[in-house]
Chains A and B, each alone.
Chain A
Amino acid sequence: MEYAILLAQAALNGLVIGAMYVLMAVGFTLTFGIMRVVNFAHGEFYMLGAFTAFFTYVYWDIPFVLCLLIAAVTIGVLGALVERALIQPFRGDETSAMIATLAISVIIQNSAIVIWGPTPRQMPDIVQGTLLLGPFSFPWSRLLVIAAAALIFAAFWLFMQATRIGRAMRAVAQDKEAALIQGIRINTIYPLAFGLSVALAALAGALMGPVFSVSPFVGLTPMLKAFVVVILGGLGSIPGAVVGGLLLGLIESFTATMFGSLVADILQLLLVILILLVRPAGLLGQREV
């Protein structure tokens, strides 16, 4: 029985971090699919989202939903501006664009250290109490993260499927030239896509703020995991990011429960290398042309 409780706990934790990985990886893979840019600053936008949620929630004392909204909008707009000013000049030059995002990441992280200091801050739980199901107990705060992430992803999916801009983004991802011929304005789609992508990262950060702590360094691990997820799922593939994210969260949680987190991290890398050997474009990805 105790073993079952342990497993249930691990499954819940796996779903929580898996939900966060999904949000991170979907945004990351979106930028790559549409713009062919690997965004090494993705984790820093996660960190900015966490800080935005922290300050608005703790100091303004407003409902957490509003905090999420504020984080998504401000960081999304910031991301669109960053794309327009600093990434657009490197269109068509993947290498330079990637190095530019490395530089942006360095700038954002160190600015955060200068402004907010390196000490981690604890954020209060959004909801208290636990859900009791027979012998199993699940904290509501964890369940909230899973539900919120599912809602956010559903909204994102609807946006991509049903709106004109979402369709335009998918068109650009499929074939840039053909999209251009159809009259889609790449110069508005790119900043929008980048803004949307980092807004998802900011939401992930805001959601995880109460679960982990908030500091200028929190962005690195989620970004690392997003890399693993997109390699598993295939760069540019959104379904791949969802499947890969949940899978990675669960695998990580179970291996960490059984063997400790170091072994979990090393196992992950081996898994990635193994999958890349068998399917170089990821589990659900398509071959690069």
Chain B
Amino acid sequence: MLETSSPALPKLERSQTAESRNLRQGAVIAVLLAVAIGVPQFATNQFYLHLANMILLNAIFAMSLGLIMSVGQISLGHAAFVAAGAYISALAALDFKLPPLLGILLAGLVTGFSAALLGKVLLRLRGVYFVLVTFLAGQVFTLIALNWESVTHGANGIVGIPAISLFGFPLGTRLRFYYFALGLFVLVFAFVWALMRSQYGRAFRSIAENLRLAEASGIDVSRYQVIAFSLGSSIAGATGAVMVHYVRFLSPDSFTFTDSIAYITILVVGGRHALIGCLLGSLFMTPLPEALRGLVGTQHILYGVILLGMLLFLPEGLVSIGRLFSRGSSRGTR
């Protein structure tokens, strides 16, 4: 129903360049993967390994938020879903001795399902109203996590959360977890990539570009928005659960509004309109606070300055730097 017949000439041209582009993209991805698999084997510094893990996790969080933003809605309460997933899996593991892998699955299902219910209500709001309500909802979640002490242990937090074990093989070390996180990242990346190329992705983009036109063309806007919202929240919840079995500590401060902003920052810095932007943004933004450790206090100011500077001078993010050099062949994933 979305097909528009494009003129013959540009189509021909496109298919030729598309082929060479696909080849090149494939080669680049293969090299990147090889590096990502090989390099940590030689990393002796545990701290760098930890950073690599956080980069991967943050990139997944950013991708899940990007999925919601791809239908033109910005959520400022994304960290609440991450936290919800983390609490579900951590409590299930401690109180009901549920294996972490099942807990992660449960976290993804519960957050996705509750996002679908919540989305049915909240997504009736558009634009600014949705942003404000998700912001408020995120604040209320933090409040509840702080005050519902009998379940969440309140401000003391939860300690002694078990590590993930894959078929009896515990992922207790940073190196082992790295490969798990890498696998998860590739999985989510491939999933979102395929989704955005499917009929769903086309509908998402058309909604983001012009909601009224999409609606008038017979696209069920609220249905697609609910789908994107619950998928994004489900990925966020499951990944939050994965992270809590890696960090093995959880408190209401673990995921707050600051983190919601951090995910948006990663998206903006990397590039909002390209999937690989999430990885680039995370690669840049995650190690930044560590690099600025000496400047206590000022690091957050710099964080804001970078976000503002990117918006002003490089609104398409780090991704567009590459595009400046290879213009013509890549009109990108937009």
Contact = CB atoms under 8 A, between A and B. Distances in A.
Interface string A256-286: 0000001001100100110011001000000
A105 B312 CA distance: 16
A144 interface: no
A71 interface: no
B147 interface: yes
A32 B74 CA distance: 17
Given A114-B297, A224-B139, A277-B121, A100 B308 contact: yes
Contact of B125 (A38, A90, A227, A276): A276
A103 B307 contact: yes
Interface stretch (A16-24, A91-99, A153-161): A91-99
B124, B129, B305, B315: most-surrounded residue (chain A CB, <10 A) = B129
A110 B133 contact: no
Contact of B136 (A95, A105, A228): A228
Given A107-B305, A110-B304, A262-B143, A227 B136 contact: yes
Given A227-B135, A228-B136, A86 B301 contact: no
Interface string B307-322: 1100110010000000
Given A94-B127, A266-B143, A103 B301 contact: no
A276 B133 contact: yes
Contact of A280 (B125, B136, B312): B125
A96 B316 CA distance: 11
B268 interface: yes
Contacts of A235: 128-129
A288 interface: yes
A228 B129 CA distance: 10
B159 interface: no
Nearest to A93: B315
Q: Is the interface of B mostly helix, strand, loop or mixed?
A: helix
A114 B311 contact: no
B124, B128, B305, B312: most-surrounded residue (chain A CB, <10 A) = B128
B180 interface: no
B301 A114 contact: yes
Interface in A126-175: none
Contact of B303 (A94, A95, A106, A280): A106
B98 interface: no
A95 B129 CA distance: 13
A266 B140 contact: yes
A111 interface: yes
A105 B307 CA distance: 11
Contacts of B131: 38, 98
Interface in A76-125: 86, 89-90, 94-96, 98-100, 102-107, 110-111, 113-114
B137 interface: yes
19 contacts: A94-B128, A96-B311, A96-B315, A100-B312, A103-B305, A105-B304, A106-B301, A106-B304, A106-B307, A107-B301, A110-B301, A114-B301, A227-B135, A235-B128, A235-B129, A262-B143, A266-B144, A272-B133, A273-B122
Given A86-B312, A280-B129, 19 more contacts: A94-B127, A95-B74, A98-B131, A102-B264, A104-B304, A104-B308, A105-B304, A106-B261, A110-B297, A227-B135, A230-B132, A231-B129, A262-B147, A265-B143, A266-B144, A273-B122, A276-B124, A277-B121, A288-B127
Closest 6 CB pairs of A and B: A106-B304, A107-B304, A110-B300, A103-B307, A103-B308, A114-B297
Interface of B: 74, 121-122, 124-129, 131-133, 135-137, 139-140, 143-144, 147, 261, 264, 268, 297-298, 300-301, 303-305, 307-308, 311-312, 315
